[in-house]
Amino acid sequence: MLIRAGYDIGFGAGQAVPMLAKLSVHPSRNKDLRTAQRIFTTPDVPLYDYVDNFGNICTRLTMPAGGITISCGFVIEDPFEPDLVVSDARQTALANLPDDTLQFLLASRYCETDRLTEAAWDLFGQVEQGWSLVQAIVGWVHNHIRFDYMAARPTKTAWDVFHEKVGVCRDYAHLAITLCRCMNIPARYCTGYMGDMDLPTLVGTMDFSAWFEVWLDGRWYVFDARHNYPRRGRILMARGRDAADAALTTTFGPVTLTRFDIYTDEDRLG
C-alpha cells in the first residue's frame, strides 16, 4: 500500500529559540520512500541534520522571533501487514543478551525500574517467560490505563501512570516498557505515524503515536499497549530508551504551539 503522510506544525516565539526536531522518517524506512522527504519552514531558515546514538535523524534549526511553521509531506510504500506475532519467541537469558540491548534494561527518565520492580514481580513473576510474559504485561497495562488526552503532561512517568491509571499512548508505552525491563526483557520506546486505515471507523483528530519494541529470541518485536492487538501501517520516526530520547521537537526557550496538523492516508493516486 502507498501511504501519504506528513504534518504542518506551528510555533510562536517572542525571541529566537534554537530547536531540535526528530520529524523525519527513521532511516530504516528510507528504502520504502516513494517521494522525496524534505522539511520546509516558513519563514525559511537554515536546517542541519545529524544522526543520534539511536539512529534517529535529528534536525537542528533556530526559530526566529515571531515563530515558525514546519511542514513535510511524502509517500511511502508499506506492506500494510499486521504487527508480527510469534507466540513461541523465547526470552534471552541476561548473560546472553547482546551488549547493545543492555541499555534498554536500565532505568531512564520516564521509566523508573527501581520503583516498579517489586510490583512487576508480584504481578508477573509466575507467568511463563518470553512472548507470553510480554503479552501479559501489555494486556495488563491496556486494562489498567484509561485513555484521556486531557491527562497528558510532559513530566508524567511510568510510576505516575501506574498510580494515576490514566494517560495517552506514550504513557501506555512507558509503563509497559518499565514492567518489561523489570522482568529482564530489553524494551525500547518508538514513535511515529499510526493512521486509522486499518480501523472500521475514524478515531478522531490524527496525532503521532507511541509504541514499543522488545528483544526476544534474537530480534526486536513491536508491541502496543494502547491498542493491545496487531496494528497495520506504522511509520517509524524515532526510537530510544523513552520519550526523552525520541521527542519529536525539543525547544531551548519559551515557545507556544500554534498549529498541529498530522495526516496519514492511503495514497489512491500513486
The string of DSSP codes covering 173-224 is HHHHHHHHHHTT--EEEEEEEE-STTSSS--SS--EEEEEEEEETTEEEEE-
> What are the tens digits of pLDDT across the range 152-170?
999 999 999 999 999 999 9
Tell me if 239 is assigned to some domain: no
Q: Do residues 142 and 224 both lie within one domain?
A: yes
Q: Tell me the CA distances in angstroms from 141 to 28, 81, 127, 177, 189, one per residue in order.
A: 28, 24, 15, 10, 15
Same structural domain for residues 107 and 218?
A: yes
In a domain, 135, yes or no: yes
How high is the pLDDT of residue 245? 98
In a domain, 98, yes or no: yes
Q: How many domains does the chain have?
A: 2
pLDDT of residue 200: 72
Tell me: do 10 and 60 sit in the same domain. Answer: yes
Q: Which residue has the cell 534494561?
A: 105
Enclosing domain of residue 224? 94-232
Residues 151, 27 within the same domain:
no
Composition of the chain by helix, strand, coil, percent to 5: 25, 35, 40
Q: How many CB atoms lie within 10 A of CB 100?
A: 9
Please, what is the Cα angle at 186 between 183 and 192, to 5 degrees? 125
Task: Return the bridge partners of 58, or none.
Answer: 50
Residue 174 lies inside a defined structural domain of this protein: yes
Q: Are residues 111 and 193 in the same domain?
A: yes
- Over residues 173-198, the mean pLDDT reads 96
- Looking at the structure, tell me whether residues 44 and 112 fall in a common domain: no
Q: Is the pTM of this model over 0.85?
A: yes
Residue at 155 is within a domain = yes
**Tens digits of per-residue pLDDT, 38-59?**
999 999 999 999 999 999 999 9
Whether 98 and 221 share a structural domain: yes
Residues in contact with 61: Cβ distance below 8 Å, sequence separation at least 6, in sequence order? 18, 19, 21, 41, 45, 46, 47, 48, 68
Residues 126 and 182 in one domain: yes
Contact in structure between 89 and 216 (CB atoms under 8 Å): yes
Task: Establish if 27 belongs to a structural domain.
Answer: yes
What secondary structure letter does DSSP report for 84? P
- CA neighbor of 198 nearest in space, from 157, 249, 161, 233: 233
Domain identity same for 54 and 116:
no
Q: DSSP class of residue 111?
A: B
Query: Does the pLDDT value for residue 195 go beyond 90?
Result: no
Please check the confidence at residue 232 and state whether its pLDDT lies above 80: yes
Distance set, CA 54 to CA 24, 217, 238, 250 (Å): 14, 21, 8, 16
Q: Give percent of the chain with pLDDT exceeding 90.
A: 93
Contact 5, 234 (CB under 8 A): no
Cell of 56: 534517529
Q: Is residue 168 part of a domain?
A: yes
User: Residue 97 — φ and ψ, nearest 5°?
Assistant: -70, 140
Q: Is the pLDDT of residue 22 over 80?
A: yes
- CATH number of 198's domain: 3.10.620.30
Residues 38 and 151 in one domain: no
